[in-house]
Amino acid sequence: MVLIRSILQRAWQSAVSVAASSRAPRSGGSLSLPLLCLWFFTCALQTPTMNAADSPAPSSPKPTSSATQRATFGGGCFWCLEALFELQDGVVSVTSGYAGGSTPKPTYEQVCTGATGHAEVVQVEFDPAKTSYETLLGVFWRAHNPTTPNRQGADEGTQYRSIILCHDAAQTLAAEKSKREAQPRFHDPIVTEIATLTQFYAAEDYHQDYFRKNPSKAYCRAVIQPKVDKFKKEKAAR
């Protein structure tokens, strides 16, 4: 009823406007009252009605898939880890970022000073129906040297430390178990830190998909490409 009343009110206002304009001198004469009434009811009938079921639903943001999970790892330059985890089956996305420190919303320049406490990390979104957290831990141990404190190759500083940031208690247990099982493969003790993730900050846009976007850069050719080639070879052999 409210909708019909609104339609009739709009039609009536239009009719009044036509009637008012017909008083002004123009060629063709004025609009007669019978024609005005006919025009008024015709407009009312031609105006489309809308049921409640026909009303457009309010827009809502796209929901995050509840089928995926996240894992966060740090092991040297995040460009390297990102390139390797992107090759793993079941991985939906990899985001380079910063975590493990105290400075809120750090910049790359701040993290590079070592004063923020943050490490360069990657956050991996994965489909547990296609790969497991334990499998990702296996990729992590192969992707870097977990026995060198605060250093990976020429990259040195606390921001390059080996670290696993767990999202829940189950991940903590799995990480600790995986660390024990990985130790026999290394001559030196594993120094990887295992901690609870409190906050993850995505890195600047130019860091995302760095290897894929910059394969000809000197660092990519000299450091990342050999790791990618080795990972692909090992993957093919399994």
Residue written as token pair 């990102």: 82
Helix (H, G, I), strand (E, B) or coil at 48: coil
Task: Calculate the alpha carbon distances from 199 to 79, 80, 205 in Å.
Answer: 20, 22, 18
77 is catalytic: yes
Residue at 141: amino acid letter: W
Whole-number Cα distances in Å, 232 to 22, 23, 56: 82, 85, 49
The Cα-based distances of 6 to 38, 53, 145 in angstroms read 19, 18, 72
9 CA to centre of own chain: 48
Q: Which of 37, 43, 77, 112 is catalytic?
A: 77
- CA angle, 24 as apex, 21 and 28 as ends, to 5°? 90
Geometric angle at alpha carbon 198, from 192 and 202, rounded to 5°: 90
* Sole residue written with tokens 């996240």: 70
Which residues form the catalytic set? 77
